[in-house]
């Protein structure tokens, strides 16, 4: 492993100063379930690790009926799944957290780390970067792309975002709070992700010295929420496709819909066509089927991942069926 300096600040401001002093060469260490593996593989070679373990301000889940939840970035996935208020108010989010990896990983992995984890692309994990090229050609397009993107892959990026919590949080219109040298910056979580178009760019909107401090999520009242994951195996496996939906209803009619896909694009993919299609309609089997088709409009399969288009359709349809409470 590449040698590095280890720092353990007690406050967020101390952590930011340690990160900002070595821009591009200092990295945040939270649970370490992703970062430490990348360091062992030589993919990440930070000169300084800034551990957040002692920063108590980043822990805890707070709930207010009027405003919803404030989730500290260091809350573990296990804590998120077990929180009583969250399970009562947003059971879909609690259930999604309980499906992340296995219990050993959930006990150390943090919510902030889950949102910031790097792609599971085997080209990236073997040191070829986010936009792997060989002789001027895309290694993904020319090579094994079974688990790569079917949406948002028109440019050089074809990896998929790995977080299964991010699509549901985006469907819930969550916001993320970032703290850096210039203070706090709060943005919609969907704007935290971006698709790199040039070497050296990353997939997260993090300025030098910034770190994730908390995630805010509104209350669940008045929304019908569900998430559905497709995996090769039920446990201890990465999702092949995820769909998360949040519906606001006026009687039987959809007033507003949020439909977000995961593991099918280089960022959590807001299925705007499906959202527009659902608005003003009553949920029935035909509408559910057509919404699944609308969610993958514009999808472009690579040579070996065409099956993911069907998986994404099915994930949307089953998430909608669960949110609407339909058994048909």
- Report if residue 102 sits inside a domain: yes
Domain identity same for 190 and 295: no
Q: Which of 153, 184, 217 is the last residue of a domain?
A: 217
- pLDDT tier for residue 233 given thresholds of 50, 70 and 90: confident
List phi, psi (to 5°) of 15: -60, -45
- Report if residue 260 sits inside a domain: yes
Domain CATH for 281? 3.30.390.50
- Report if residue 13 sits inside a domain: no
Q: What is the mean pLDDT of residues 242-258?
A: 97
Domain identity same for 188 and 98: yes
Domain identity same for 280 and 175: no
Helices (H), 163-265: 165-171
Domain CATH for 103? 3.30.465.10
pTM over 0.85: yes
> Average pLDDT of the chain?
96
For residue 108, pLDDT over 80 is answered with yes
Domain identity same for 169 and 290: no
Q: Please tell me the predicted confidence (pLDDT) of residue 232.
A: 86
- pLDDT tier for residue 50 given thresholds of 50, 70 and 90: very high
- Report if residue 47 sits inside a domain: no
Of 91, 59, 57, nearest to 75 by C-alpha is 59
Q: What is the pLDDT of residues 169-178, one digit of tens each?
A: 999 999 999 9
- Report if residue 111 sits inside a domain: yes
Q: Please tell me the predicted confidence (pLDDT) of residue 47.
A: 97
Alpha-carbon distances of 9 from 51, 76, 212, rounded to whole Å: 7, 19, 15
Of 182, 204, 209, 218, nearest to 71 by C-alpha is 218
For residue 235, pLDDT over 70 is answered with no
Q: 267: which residues sit within 8 A by CB, 6+ positions away?
A: 152, 161, 193, 194, 195, 203
- Report if residue 308 sits inside a domain: yes
Tokens 């986010």 sit on residue: 130
Q: Please tell me the predicted confidence (pLDDT) of residue 34.
A: 94
- pLDDT tier for residue 308 given thresholds of 50, 70 and 90: very high
- In this predicted model, which residue has the larger pLDDT, 14 or 326? 14
Domain identity same for 101 and 243: no
SS3 state at 133: strand
Q: Domain limits at 234?
A: 223-324
Q: What is the mean pLDDT of residues 11-32?
A: 97
Q: Does residue 211 come out as left (phi exceeding 0), alpha (psi in the -120 to 50 range) or beta?
A: beta
Q: Which of 217, 244, 260 is the last residue of a domain?
A: 217
Domain identity same for 77 and 109: yes
Domain identity same for 234 and 184: no
Q: What is the mean pLDDT of residues 227-243?
A: 87
Q: Does residue 282 come out as left (phi exceeding 0), alpha (psi in the -120 to 50 range) or beta?
A: beta
Domain identity same for 199 and 294: no
Domain identity same for 180 and 301: no
Domain identity same for 205 and 249: no
Q: Which of 169, 200, 217 is the last residue of a domain?
A: 217
Of 217, 243, 215, 213, nearest to 230 by C-alpha is 243
Contact in structure between 141 and 159 (CB atoms under 8 Å) = no
If one counts the domains in the chain, the total is 2
Domain identity same for 93 and 172: yes
Q: Please tell me the predicted confidence (pLDDT) of residue 2.
A: 86
- pLDDT tier for residue 327 given thresholds of 50, 70 and 90: low
- pLDDT tier for residue 223 given thresholds of 50, 70 and 90: very high
Q: CB neighbours (10 Å) of residue 202? A: 11
- Report if residue 93 sits inside a domain: yes
Tokens 């999604």 sit on residue: 96
- Report if residue 270 sits inside a domain: yes
Domain identity same for 78 and 195: yes
Task: List the structure tokens of 86.
Answer: 């969250």
């Amino acid at each position: 492993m590449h040698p590095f300096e280890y720092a353990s600040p007690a406050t967020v401001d101390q952590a930011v100063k340690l990160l900002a002093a070595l821009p591009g060469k200092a990295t945040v260490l939270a649970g370490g379930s992703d970062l430490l593996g990348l360091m062992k593989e030589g993919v990440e070679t930070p000169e300084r690790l800034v551990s957040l373990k002692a920063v108590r301000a980043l822990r805890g889940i707070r709930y207010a009926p009027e405003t919803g939840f404030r989730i500290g970035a260091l809350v573990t996935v296990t804590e998120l799944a077990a929180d009583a208020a969250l399970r009562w108010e947003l059971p879909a989010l609690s259930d999604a957290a309980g499906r992340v990896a296995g219990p050993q990983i959930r006990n150390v992995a943090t919510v902030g780390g889950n949102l910031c984890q790097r792609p599971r692309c085997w080209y990236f994990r073997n040191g070829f970067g986010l936009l792997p090229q060989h002789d001027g050609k895309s290694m993904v397009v020319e090579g094994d792309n079974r688990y790569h993107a079917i949406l948002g892959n028109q440019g050089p990026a074809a990896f998929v975002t790995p977080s299964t919590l991010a699509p549901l949080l985006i469907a819930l219109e969550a916001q993320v709070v970032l703290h850096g040298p210039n203070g706090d910056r709060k943005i919609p979580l969907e704007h935290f992700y971006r698709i790199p178009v040039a070497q050296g760019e990353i997939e997260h909107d993090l300025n030098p010295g910034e770190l994730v401090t908390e995630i805010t999520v509104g209350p669940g009242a008045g929304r019908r929420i569900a998430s559905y994951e497709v995996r090769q195996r039920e446990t201890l496996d990465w999702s092949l496709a995820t769909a998360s939906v949040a519906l606001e209803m006026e009687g039987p009619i959809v007033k507003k819909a949020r439909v977000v896909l995961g593991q099918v694009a280089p960022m959590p993919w807001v299925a705007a066509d499906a959202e527009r299609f659902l608005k003003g309609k009553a949920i029935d089997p035909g509408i559910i089927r057509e919404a699944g088709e609308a969610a993958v409009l514009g999808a472009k399969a690579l040579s070996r991942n065409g099956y993911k288009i069907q998986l994404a359709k099915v994930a949307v349809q089953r998430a909608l069926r669960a949110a609407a409470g339909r058994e048909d």
